[in-house]
Amino acid sequence: MRKGEGQQVNAKRSLRSSYLSSIISIALVLFTLGVVGLLLLHAKRLSDFVKENISFSVVLNEDVKEVDAAVLQKSLDASPYVKSTNFISKDDAAKIMKEQLGQDFVQFLGYNPLGASIEVRLKADYANTDSISVIEKDLKAFNQIKEVNYQKSLLDLVNDNVREISLIVLAFSALLLFVSLVLINNTIRLSVYARRFLINTMRLVGATNGFIRRPFLLRGILHGVYAGVIADLLLLALIWFGQEQVKQILDIADLNILMVLFSAVLFVGVAISYTSTFFAVRKFLRLKVDDLYY
């Protein structure tokens, strides 16, 4: 093989390696953005899950029969603010307390001091202290109800933490998007930089800026598509492996959400790649010959 041919082969290999590293770098950045996007798309559902797992107890009067308690439970289930209810009899309450204390307090006292109750889980929109205060007044109108017990401090803490976490995730997403734009832009600029002499040669033979720019932009779009597809496949693998662990919290296999996410990742990959390539090529089109060596 001639020396010139060997150099040409090495140049092609170097160019392919540059393209491959560029695609992989963009794909990894898009994958990270996709993970954050997945969290953002499910943020409301995650928040609702946390709120709807906070319960309060409706303690019944001692003389309430189980039939009357069942009627009251059905009435609560029909309320617009109730997510679910669970009836706990005196015996069930004693068993729960025994498990928590680790000893049989009924045998020690000689009687069961606990009353029957209904555990109520609210819908997320009503899981706040203001709504529960109104609900508490409505519940106390029932003759069967002795009192309503809930932890106001816990509700306030959960709602405050949900708001803070939402703001942190949004801020982190904005920062990550900015960093991603910078990383992808620098990766593409380096790729174009490696071909700056080719750009200059085309200018010297009279090629127009549009003619020079076109193949770079097409390649940029193609690389964005490749990177987006790779990122989507990585996200799909993550979702497939993680579905079993989080299916009780999030339905991350929701087809509509996945379609939005995958399309957004692909679009962002193409858009950033195209834009970065455009400005990178434009920069080298404006450089003088002497500046190409620096």
Look at the chain and report how many structural domains it folds into.
2
Task: Name, of 3-7, 171-175, 221-225, 256-260, the range with top average pLDDT.
Answer: 221-225
What per-residue string of b and e applies to 81-98 under the rule 16 or more CB within 10 Å gives b? bbbebebbebeebbeebe
Both 103 and 42 in one domain: the answer is: no
pLDDT at 287 over 70: no
Both 178 and 288 in one domain: the answer is: yes
Residues 29-49: tens digit of each pLDDT: 888 888 888 777 777 777 777
Mean pLDDT of all residues belonging to the chain? 76
Tell me, what's the pLDDT at 229? 93
Both 72 and 169 in one domain: the answer is: no
Both 193 and 241 in one domain: the answer is: yes
Both 62 and 30 in one domain: the answer is: no
Please name the residue ranges forming H helices in the chain. 3-41, 43-52, 66-77, 90-101, 105-109, 129-139, 152-193, 196-204, 209-246, 255-286
Tell me, what's the pLDDT at 225? 92
Residue 276 burial by Cβ neighbours in a 10 Å radius (0-12, 13-18, 19+) = buried
> Considering the domain boundaries, does residue 119 fall inside one?
yes
The CATH number of the domain holding residue 117 is 3.30.70.3040
Tell me, what's the pLDDT at 233? 92
> Considering the domain boundaries, does residue 153 fall inside one?
no
pLDDT at 202 over 70: yes
List the structure tokens of 5.
């041919």
Both 199 and 260 in one domain: the answer is: yes
> Considering the domain boundaries, does residue 226 fall inside one?
yes
Both 260 and 192 in one domain: the answer is: yes
Tell me, what's the pLDDT at 39? 76
Tell me, what's the pLDDT at 126? 82
Closest listed residue to residue 58, CA positions, set 71, 42, 73, 79 = 73
Tell me, what's the pLDDT at 253? 54
Tell me, what's the pLDDT at 112? 63
> Considering the domain boundaries, does residue 249 fall inside one?
yes
Tell me, what's the pLDDT at 1? 47
CB count in 10 Å sphere of residue 273:
29
Residues 222-231: tens digit of each pLDDT: 988 998 999 9
Tell me, what's the pLDDT at 230? 93
> Considering the domain boundaries, does residue 154 fall inside one?
no
Dist CA 217 CA 238 (whole Å): 31
Both 13 and 82 in one domain: the answer is: no
> Considering the domain boundaries, does residue 68 fall inside one?
yes
Both 170 and 288 in one domain: the answer is: yes
Both 165 and 43 in one domain: the answer is: yes
> Considering the domain boundaries, does residue 276 fall inside one?
yes
The one-letter code for the residue type at 153 is S
Dist CA 89 CA 97 (whole Å): 12
Both 195 and 281 in one domain: the answer is: yes
> Considering the domain boundaries, does residue 140 fall inside one?
no
Q: Work out whether strand 82-88 and strand 117-122 pair parallel, antiparallel, or are unpaired.
A: antiparallel
pLDDT at 72 over 80: yes
Domain extent, residue 109, equals: 55-126
Closest listed residue to residue 26, CA positions, set 229, 210, 173 = 229
Both 175 and 33 in one domain: the answer is: yes
The confidence band for 16, taking pLDDT boundaries of 50, 70 and 90, is low
Dist CA 26 CA 35 (whole Å): 14
Please give the share of the chain, as a percent, with pLDDT higher than 90: 4
Residues 77-104: tens digit of each pLDDT: 888 888 888 888 777 776 776 676 666 6
